[in-house]
Structure 1
């Protein structure tokens, strides 16, 4: 990898640790920007004493370790962002706005901004905050992190539990010349996952499948009687058949929205590669799934999900479900509501999405959907196209707000 490439990793969580470690080991100049001062100080102190370790678990191979040290870890955008060729967000979508606003004035016109993952509406938010500069830079948004990973010791040790085979991202190429986006990112990550570019940025929004966590949460706790439980149930591997059916119905609604967009603008929005959720699992977790005959088994026999449990609130007398989990607070306003916004523009009915959004907003004390319309008081905290004034398909495609 050419030594003159400068990568700024935004974030301080598991994904940021893994990406910073892997890219640094490839010879890239890596800067880490975390806007939380405590994280920046803690991580800086850790790498001053010793290099960071990335433990990589690969299918049917013993774990291997990669040692590296980012060049800079800071909370100051003015230190980290100028001259950065690539800026990658590895923070929750709920704080993307905070990062965009913090770095906006320091971004160079040839920069590549990447959401890893971007989650639904990443491009809408980028266009809104960066304004004219958004037409110069290039923007990529990937459907998920490349790995399942966990920080084992902050600033010192992160473990990659599983790596996806393929990872698809969208690209909106800016007017200014940039380095080859996909090739550059691939060199940061290594041979896997194999990065692929979608035919259109709406494909990544639709295939973010933000409904997965809310559906599983709903399936487990919709009939909960309020009594405390003794232990947290398994999350993915604890699903039942009715939950699987809801997942498939949500997937069907997503593909229906894609079909409507493709029919309306076949030459402007090629969404022919949008897949249903079962095919997505089979492709992305091929080496991790023991039984892929149907969606239920593709999830419950996925090794990458082993041991992962429901988010819970604990007390001395037991546990209760945590309705403040990002599985709801992020995946609904930054995911399901965005898809719902596309559906509203296209006139496509998505009753299962509606039901889940209404259930989730009640649990969170929020209001997005009112009388079947995205007019709730909390719509400004979402990334649906309606928030940004994109009220027609043409506005969504061009980024020019509807009159």
Structure 2
């Protein structure tokens, strides 16, 4: 896998894709970066920027890179010329992008999802793709586009990021290749099942939206400065909700390990993940509330909003809900259901945010509502029993 990094295709044009593009352009080992953008408008904006410097601003300063080795394309055949395909898009776009690339993907390709969220392995199996899959637990960066196609701001970088592969025996290659490429420590999580369960966004984003902002959905904020900071809005009850959902994941982990013999050491309590990921960036680790409020990587990031009459209103179509629920929390609920582990707090959040989104994920406490077809829960792919689930991972 280390030999594949000379030519890389990046799929996506959002915040994470900008940070990745800037990172790759600065690497001497990378000779060609293909940027696959099916949308005409995004492609035109990036094409116009080729030849100019691409800038990344970090807490340590600003880095500029030339863009001559960046090639913009909307052709999936051209995109598949790179042996390494990196998806840096919302999880709902994974399926459509992989479907467009599928005719050109072979066993020699490696598909990377940065991040994978949960259940991507079921989507790959459905599509029958022969390529190896590398899934990252999260983005390495907390970042925002400063100027589309030209500048990105990185507010903080995690100390490490978890990775898993399918087949699992390629994880060592991924650790060796992506550590130097991304500039962060890469730690193996053991399996894609561990990666799916260890997805922190599935707890943090819907949990904070539901716990801290559930009663503010009708509130209009008069200015951008008045929009609340997202992570700094975590209070005692919200922290209890997040901690409780994390405990439900840990009970599921123990049940899966007991029945399968699979090691899931990469699945850890939320507080432990925050400590390991951000380290000294957290100034006060005395409580979960303080870990969010004093994390330097979380400063300045506001709750997603949309413009409305008189100001700004909380955006219910943010990826915090449209991605982290169907491609995160619902997947873990589905796996919990298969292994017979009760998840009352997850159920509360799924039902609550489901009402906001006009989706019904649960029926009598079971993942069987009409919203199931829009998730990556195993039940959507006909997986109902533990044996079927474990077969996906070669067990």
| TM-score category, normalised to shorter length | over 0.9
Q: Please list, as runs of the form range in 1=range in 2, the aligned pairs for 1:17-166 lying within 5 A after superposition.
A: 17-27=18-28, 28=30, 29-48=32-51, 50-57=52-59, 62-69=60-67, 70-82=69-81, 84-129=82-127, 131=128, 133-134=129-130, 137-166=131-160
Distance 1:236 1:178 in 2: 32
Between 226-235 and 365-374, the greater mean CA deviation after superposition: 226-235
Between 300-309 and 312-321, the greater mean CA deviation after superposition: 312-321
**Deviations along 1:160-189, whole A, 9 cap, x unmatched?**
2211111001111289x9993222222321
Which residue of the partner structure matches residue 186 of structure 1? 179
Aligned partners of 2:119 and 2:331 also within 8 Å: yes
**Deviations along 1:208-246, whole A, 9 cap, x unmatched?**
021211111112233348343433111101111000000
User: Shift in Å at residue 343 of structure 1?
Assistant: 0.3
Distance 1:67 1:223 in 2: 44
Asked if 1:389 is matched to 2:389, the reply is no
Tell me which protein shows more helix as a share of its residues: 2
Describe the shift of the 1:199–1:223 C-alpha distance in structure 2 as closer, same or farther (beyond 3 A). Answer: same
Which residue of the partner structure matches residue 197 of structure 1? 188
Correspondence for 2:214 among 222, 233, 257: 222
Asked if 1:213 is matched to 2:205, the reply is yes
Aligned partners of 1:262 and 1:272 also within 8 Å: no
Describe the shift of the 1:246–1:72 C-alpha distance in structure 2 as closer, same or farther (beyond 3 A). Answer: same
Describe the shift of the 1:246–1:64 C-alpha distance in structure 2 as closer, same or farther (beyond 3 A). Answer: same
Structure 2 regions of 5+ residues with no counterpart?
none
Describe the shift of the 1:212–1:351 C-alpha distance in structure 2 as closer, same or farther (beyond 3 A). Answer: same
Asked if 1:247 is matched to 2:247, the reply is no
Q: Please list, as runs of the form range in 1=range in 2, the aligned pairs for 1:283-322 lying within 5 A after superposition.
A: 283-322=276-315
Aligned Cα RMSD in Å?
A: 2.1
Which residue of the partner structure matches residue 354 of structure 1? 347
Q: Secondary structure at the match of 2:365?
A: coil
Describe the shift of the 1:399–1:167 C-alpha distance in structure 2 as closer, same or farther (beyond 3 A). Answer: same
Aligned partners of 1:112 and 1:181 also within 8 Å: no
Asked if 1:341 is matched to 2:340, the reply is no
Asked if 1:325 is matched to 2:323, the reply is no
User: Shift in Å at residue 249 of structure 1?
Assistant: 0.2
Which residue of the partner structure matches residue 9 of structure 1? 10
Aligned partners of 2:22 and 2:56 also within 8 Å: yes
Aligned partners of 2:171 and 2:190 also within 8 Å: no
Distance 1:11 1:387 in 2: 26
**Deviations along 1:139-164, whole A, 9 cap, x unmatched?**
11111101111211111111222111
User: Shift in Å at residue 118 of structure 1?
Assistant: 0.4
**Deviations along 1:344-392, whole A, 9 cap, x unmatched?**
0000000000010000111001122111122212211100000111222
Which residue of the partner structure matches residue 280 of structure 1? 273
Distance 2:199 2:95 in 1: 19
Distance 2:282 2:263 in 1: 30
Asked if 1:236 is matched to 2:238, the reply is no
Aligned partners of 2:193 and 2:393 also within 8 Å: no
Aligned partners of 1:165 and 1:285 also within 8 Å: yes
User: Shift in Å at residue 54 of structure 1?
Assistant: 2.2
